[in-house]
Amino acid sequence: MAVSPSKFPSVFAGFNGRTAIIAVSVFLNFAGFTLIIPVLPFSVARYVAAQDIALWVSLTLALYSLCSFVAAPVLGAMSDRFGRRPIMLFSLCGSALGFAVFGIGGSLWILLVGRVIEGVTAGSISALYAYVADTHSPAKRGQAFGMLGAAGGLGFMLGPVLGGTLGQVSLSAPLYGAAGLAMVNFILVWFYLPESHQRANRRAHLSWRQFNAISQLVRTLRDRRLRLLFAVVFCFTLGGAVLQANLTVLLMDLLAFQPTSIGLVLAGVGVMDIVSQGFAAPRLQSLFGERRVATAGLVINGLGLVLLALLPLHAAATLLVAGIAIFTFGDGLFQPSASALIANAAPAERQGEVQGANQAQQAIARTAGPLGAAWLYGVSPSAPYAAAAIVVLLAAALLTRK
| Tens-digit pLDDT profile for residues 135-164 | 888 877 877 877 777 777 777 777 777 888
Q: Which pTM does this prediction carry?
A: 0.68
Closest CA to 164 of 43, 67, 53, 58: 43
Rounded CA separation 216/77 (Å): 9
Going by C-alpha positions, the residue among 225, 263, 234 that lies closest to residue 391 is: 234
Q: Is 28 left (phi over 0), alpha (psi -120 to 50) or beta?
A: alpha
**pLDDT over 70 percentage in the chain:** 90
Is 270:138 a contact under the CB 8 Å cutoff? Answer: no
Res 392 pLDDT > 90: yes
Alpha-carbon gap, residue 187 to 193, rounded angstroms: 10
Q: Is the pLDDT of residue 18 over 80?
A: no
**Which residue type occupies 144?**
A
In Å, what is the CA distance from 176 to each residue of 27, 56, 120, 186, 310?
17, 21, 19, 15, 36
Q: How high is the pLDDT of residue 230?
A: 92
Q: Which of 44-58, 175-189, 239-253, 291-305 has the highest mean pLDDT?
A: 291-305
Q: What is the pLDDT of residue 10?
A: 37
- Give residue 217's identity as a one-letter amino acid code: L
Q: How many separate helices (H) and strands (E) can be counted in the chain?
A: 16, 0
Q: Which helix (H) or strand (E) holds 24?
A: helix 17-35
Which of residues 202 and 82 earns the better pLDDT score?
82
Find out whether 243 and 22 touch, Cβ atoms under 8 Å: no
Q: What confidence score (pLDDT) does residue 28 get?
A: 79
Of residues 388, 162, 152, 161, the one with CA closest to residue 275? 152
- Which runs of consecutive H residues, i.e. helices, occur in 46-194? 53-82, 84-104, 108-120, 124-135, 138-169, 173-192
More confident position, 123 or 348: 348
Pairwise CA distance, residues 30 & 77, whole Å: 23
* pLDDT at residue 38 in the model: 78
Q: How open is the CA angle 181-186-192, to the nearest 5 degrees?
A: 120
Task: Report in angstroms the alpha-carbon separations of 401 from 228, 363, 397.
Answer: 9, 25, 7
Which residue type sits at 117?
Answer: I
Average pLDDT, the chain: 80
Is 90 exceeded by the pLDDT of residue 302?
A: yes
For residue 296, how many other CB atoms are within 10 A of its CB?
18
Confidence of residue 272 (pLDDT cuts 50, 70, 90): confident
Of 278-282, 291-295, 299-303, 385-389, the range with the lowest mean pLDDT is 278-282
User: How much is the pLDDT for 97?
Assistant: 92
As a whole number of angstroms, the distance between CA 357 and CA 230 comes to 9
Band (234; pLDDT cuts 50, 70, 90)? very high
